[in-house]
Amino acid sequence: AAMTGAPDACLNLAAFHYHGAGVQKDLKQAMEWYTKAAEQGDKDAQFNLGAAYDDGEGVGQDHARAVHWFTKAAEQDDEDARTCLGIACANSDGVKKNPTAAARWFTLAAEKGHDDSQYKLGVA
């Protein structure tokens, strides 16, 4: 199913390669499958790609690309992505420092019960 481009199948195959579950662990392959799913709008794949670019895991570290993928996931109500965007805006990671935008992203996630965003919003 992943070979036909089904986003769920691409996401699952990516996770298998990422964790080495049933296949040889291969971060490059994982990122290729996450990208295929993310480009089709899968918010979990978008978040995972953002995290990979943020950490430089399986791809070269690129905070701007991390922000791109986190934004795509955040627009689909991914609270972890919203929190990561808040952190990026607060720390100037891949975007210009913007405390107002950071607070907005933290607030969106905090209102949905995301405890890390609630904490970060309180600190801000």
pLDDT tier at 6, thresholds 50, 70, 90: confident
pLDDT of residue 1: 82
Specify the amino acid at residue 72: K
CA–CA separation, 37 and 94 (whole Å): 23
Mean pLDDT over each residue of the chain, to the nearest integer: 94
Q: What angle do CA 86, 115, 47 make, to 5 degrees?
A: 50
The phi, psi pair for 72, rounded to 5°, reads -60, -45
Residue-wise pLDDT for 18-28, tens only, equals 999 999 999 99
68/64 Cα distance (integer angstroms): 6
Q: What is the pTM of this model?
A: 0.91
Summarised one tens digit per residue, pLDDT across range 65-114 is 999 999 999 999 999 999 999 999 999 999 999 999 999 999 999 999 99
pLDDT digits (tens, 9 = 90+) for 21-74: 999 999 999 999 999 999 999 999 999 999 999 999 999 999 999 999 999 999
How is the chain classified by DSSP, letter by letter? -GGGT-HHHHHHHHHHHHHTSSS---HHHHHHHHHHHHHTT-HHHHHHHHHHHHHTSSS---HHHHHHHHHHHHTTT-HHHHHHHHHHHHHTSSS---HHHHHHHHHHHHTTT-HHHHHHHHH-
6's CB contacts (< 8 A; 6+ apart) are none
